[in-house]
Amino acid sequence: MDRHTRVLESYTKKQEIDRKNLTLFSARKEVNINAGGTAGYTVKEGSNKGKILSHYSPKANNNW
């Protein structure tokens, strides 16, 4: 009977951890990337307000 108790306790503990992880993951606030046509994230607050981070701009290769 003890082996069943151990299995059930470990299953319950795993389910509780999974539920907490899902709650934390769903409560995360998503950043607004590609808003306004940019290819990066615009900083909203602080000393770098308005600066675009990780902006991707490909280099033109027009050397024929």
Is 39 part of any domain?
Answer: yes
Per-residue pLDDT tens digits for 2-61: 778 989 999 999 999 999 999 998 887 776 666 666 567 778 888 988 887 775 666 777
pLDDT given at position 59 = 72
Q: Please check whether residue 62 lies inside any domain of the structure.
A: no
Beta strands in 1-63 (DSSP E): 41-42, 52-53
Tell whether 61 is covered by a domain.
Answer: no
Does 63 fall in a domain? no
CA–CA dist 61, 55 (Å, integer): 19
Tally of domains within the chain: 1
For residue 53, the model assigns a pLDDT of 77
* pTM of the complete model beyond 0.75: no
Residue range of the domain that includes 48: 2-53
Tell me, yes or no, whether 31 lies in a domain: yes
